[in-house]
Structure 1
Amino acid sequence: MTHQVRAVVARGKGAPVSLETIIVPDPGPGEALVKIEACGVCHTDLHYREGGINDDFPFLLGHEAAGVVESVGEGVTDVAPGDFVVLNWRAVCGQCRACLRGRPWYCFATHNAKQKMTLASTGQELSPALGIGAFAEKTLVAAGQCTKVDRAASAAAVGLLGCGVMAGIGAAINTGNVGRGDSVAVIGCGGVGAAAVAGAKLAGAAKVIAVDIDDRKLATAGRLGATHTVNSRTSDAVEAIRELTGGFGADVVIEAVGRPETYQQAFYARDLAGTVVLVGVPTPEMKLELPLIDVFGRGGSLKSSWYGDCLPSRDFPMLVDLYLQGRLDLDAFVTETIALDEVEKAFERMHHGDVLRSVVVL
């Protein structure tokens, strides 16, 4: 049996997305069919549309999603029909060298559904964004991409854990190892950076300094836990961070932009033996130049954060519980809710910095 559903598809590089009818097969071994309730509009979806990931068009966009498992294939035991789940793009294999060493958050062989979803009009196979493809009424994923969470949670809010919010929170808690009393600076306060601010607050940081060139984003960072804000359009970010930390620099600096200039700011804005975490995603042509003596002389750690170094089975339920307890304001990340046919307009608002997240609600 197959399912005909509506979905948002990018047919070609730079072309506006379109609402299409697609064919979703029943789940095979190790797969799950999920009825989508909500899916955030992430910059990564725009990168797919622009051909910035690869050229495997047409793409089925959407990946920050929550929904209900409708059916599962043979051998699936971790989730069952009726489970409310957040989707993830790290379905750990359990067999690679990272998993076998007890570090599944670095899994090098994450997997997706084996069967392909197709365009109803032509039968052409679709490439689902990050192996998910959730701007759709239903999608087919590997069962390991489904993490069961408390049904009491808002799908629009907790679906964002599927990518950007988890990346930011995890950059602070998992990668940066922010501890009680630490000073933390976050450079770039879009969706991921704002989540890093929230993560630093959760971890007990004494001082959280938000840096951006947009006062609207800084205001949001303040609501999420920043104790200080710096507009780097009008102030020197490095000097401001040092001034706010007794002249020393922050214990942890999280770079959530992904540019050489902001990475250099992060590098020089940390204390001696401090930590820099890169969670912003650079483009392939970007180069970084630093005096090697400064890398040696400042000590500490230079880290990259992949998906917030998260383990969905561990982190998603915990963060959803904190959300339900009122200790993590995931609702603050939802700027607006939109319909499935409004994704292209959401991309435009994203370009202008008007939203933290637009969320498609089905």
Structure 2
Amino acid sequence: MTDSRAVVSTGKGEPVQLVTIDVPDPGPGEAVVRVQSCGVCHTDLHYREGGISDDYPFLLGHEAAGTVEQVGDGVRDVAPGDFVVLNWRAVCGVCRACKRGEPQYCFDTHNAAQPMTLQDGTALEPALGIGAFTERTLVAAGQCTKVDPQARSAVAGLLGCGVMAGIGAAVNTGGAGPGDTVAVIGCGGVGDGSIAGANMVGARRIIAVDTDPTKLTWAREFGATHTVNAAEYDTVEAVRELTGGFGADIVVDAVGTPQTFKQAFYARDHAGTLVLVGVPTPDMMLELPLLDVFARGGAIKPSWYGDCLPERDFPALVEMYQQGRLPLEKFVTEEIGLGDVEAAFDKMHRGEVLRSVVNL
């Protein structure tokens, strides 16, 4: 058992607290990771606001990189000293998706079996099964993906969630490639990840759509060739005008509302692909003429975690970053301490940051 400082959410909408928690020694198939950096993601804020569940207290943080300190019995793929990026999709290897060679769709992903606790013994619910706003965290060993140890932890850790979801939405789910036209609706961390991914694979035209001029400026830094302010222009008409009247080959909805989904649906070319990576709320309902769905052809694809396979994608993307082909460092707006998470949430609300990253 190890003491560790940690950021915990104790109630809906209440400011987070910096407390000391207990981290168990790893059991079979588990690992303790010394966290070096962890990004502040909107999902952490959703946990604090009760948007995920009401299983308080939550141990927040999940976009993390660090060094393995201990491993439990049976762990073979990682060892103490390994530099790893944490992922929330530790695949089982035996479900029907894994057996048919599609582990990125694993139906039985898992986390550590033992709980981390407050010092009074109260079990903590770790965000996305990770809980990394802490000096040390306990995870399933399969949640640890080894990457180049020369990579900066503040940058590499962002692949653990939002940036990977965005890159994967464009490349893995959408199948973007050389010569394609790609439109991205919503230019936060996930949307900019899609833009960076489309640029990385050689898309010919990349159209960024948002209502915030600052976010559109950021989008250009990741490779957007054109921008559309949706507060001033009709999104569908603007995308069509920029694509010869046809619409984009791939449209990524990184917002996830009925309005943006419809915009994405009609902004794509005939037989084009719509990728939904923005997360809707449970109350949202969608109405579309079924004839339009039939007549336009193509594909409508939800993208969960960018359809990534961490052991395949994380090392490759870190290598591309190291080669200067993927500007991951541009996602990092500021680097902060554990005690600054609540202030980072406020900056997120105001749209002042793309990513705040906690360094430990």
TM-score (normalizing by structure 1): 0.99
- CA RMSD, aligned part only? 0.5
Q: Which residue of 2 aligns with 1:104?
A: 103
The one of 177, 180, 183 equivalent to 2:181 is 183
| SS of the residue 2:249 aligns to | strand
Provide the C-alpha distance between the structure 2 equivalents of 1:234 and 1:168, rounded to a whole number of angstroms.
25
Q: Which residue of 2 aligns with 1:31?
A: 30
Matches within 5 A, 1:67-146: 67-120=66-119, 122-146=120-144
Provide the C-alpha distance between the structure 2 equivalents of 1:166 and 1:279, rounded to a whole number of angstroms.
11
Aligned length: 360
Provide the C-alpha distance between the structure 2 equivalents of 1:158 and 1:260, rounded to a whole number of angstroms.
33
Provide the C-alpha distance between the structure 1 equivalents of 2:156 and 2:17, rounded to a whole number of angstroms.
26
CA deviation after TM superposition for structure 1 residue 208, in Å: 0.2
Provide the C-alpha distance between the structure 2 equivalents of 1:301 and 1:89, rounded to a whole number of angstroms.
27
Q: Which residue of 1 aligns with 2:59?
A: 60
| SS of the residue 2:278 aligns to | coil
CA deviation after TM superposition for structure 1 residue 189, in Å: 0.2
Matches within 5 A, 1:287-306: 287-306=285-304
Provide the C-alpha distance between the structure 1 equivalents of 2:27 and 2:324, rounded to a whole number of angstroms.
39
| SS of the residue 1:295 aligns to | helix
Q: Which residue of 2 aligns with 1:259?
A: 257
Q: Which residue of 2 aligns with 1:359?
A: 357
Provide the C-alpha distance between the structure 1 equivalents of 2:337 and 2:357, rounded to a whole number of angstroms.
8
Q: Which residue of 2 aligns with 1:282?
A: 280
Provide the C-alpha distance between the structure 2 equivalents of 1:288 and 1:17, rounded to a whole number of angstroms.
35
The one of 189, 192, 217 equivalent to 2:190 is 192
Identity score, percent: 71
The residue type equivalent to 2:42 in the other structure is: H
Deviations 1:150-171 (A, max 9, x none): 0110100110000000000000
Unaligned runs of 5+ residues in structure 1 are none
Provide the C-alpha distance between the structure 2 equivalents of 1:12 and 1:109, rounded to a whole number of angstroms.
29
The residue type equivalent to 2:304 in the other structure is: W
Deviations 1:207-256 (A, max 9, x none): 00000011111111101100000101011111010000000000000000
Provide the C-alpha distance between the structure 2 equivalents of 1:138 and 1:114, rounded to a whole number of angstroms.
16
Q: Which residue of 2 aligns with 1:271?
A: 269
Provide the C-alpha distance between the structure 1 equivalents of 2:92 and 2:76, rounded to a whole number of angstroms.
15
| SS of the residue 2:215 aligns to | helix
Deviations 1:110-134 (A, max 9, x none): 00000110001x2100000000000
Provide the C-alpha distance between the structure 1 equivalents of 2:238 and 2:177, rounded to a whole number of angstroms.
22
Provide the C-alpha distance between the structure 1 equivalents of 2:32 and 2:108, rounded to a whole number of angstroms.
22
Provide the C-alpha distance between the structure 1 equivalents of 2:155 and 2:214, rounded to a whole number of angstroms.
20
Provide the C-alpha distance between the structure 2 equivalents of 1:154 and 1:238, rounded to a whole number of angstroms.
39
Runs (4+) of structure 1 exceeding 3 A deviation are none
| SS of the residue 1:251 aligns to | strand
Provide the C-alpha distance between the structure 1 equivalents of 2:315 and 2:282, rounded to a whole number of angstroms.
34
Matches within 5 A, 1:35-46: 35-46=34-45
Unaligned runs of 5+ residues in structure 2 are none
| SS of the residue 2:320 aligns to | helix
Q: Which residue of 1 aligns with 2:169?
A: 171
Q: Which residue of 1 aligns with 2:232?
A: 234
Provide the C-alpha distance between the structure 1 equivalents of 2:177 and 2:295, rounded to a whole number of angstroms.
24
| SS of the residue 1:134 aligns to | coil
Provide the C-alpha distance between the structure 2 equivalents of 1:35 and 1:250, rounded to a whole number of angstroms.
44
Q: Which residue of 2 aligns with 1:342?
A: 340
CA deviation after TM superposition for structure 1 residue 277, in Å: 0.1
CA deviation after TM superposition for structure 1 residue 136, in Å: 0.1
Q: Which residue of 1 aligns with 2:4?
A: 5
| SS of the residue 1:29 aligns to | coil
Deviations 1:256-300 (A, max 9, x none): 001110110000000000000000001000011100000000000
The one of 308, 316, 323 equivalent to 1:325 is 323
Q: Which residue of 2 aligns with 1:159?
A: 157
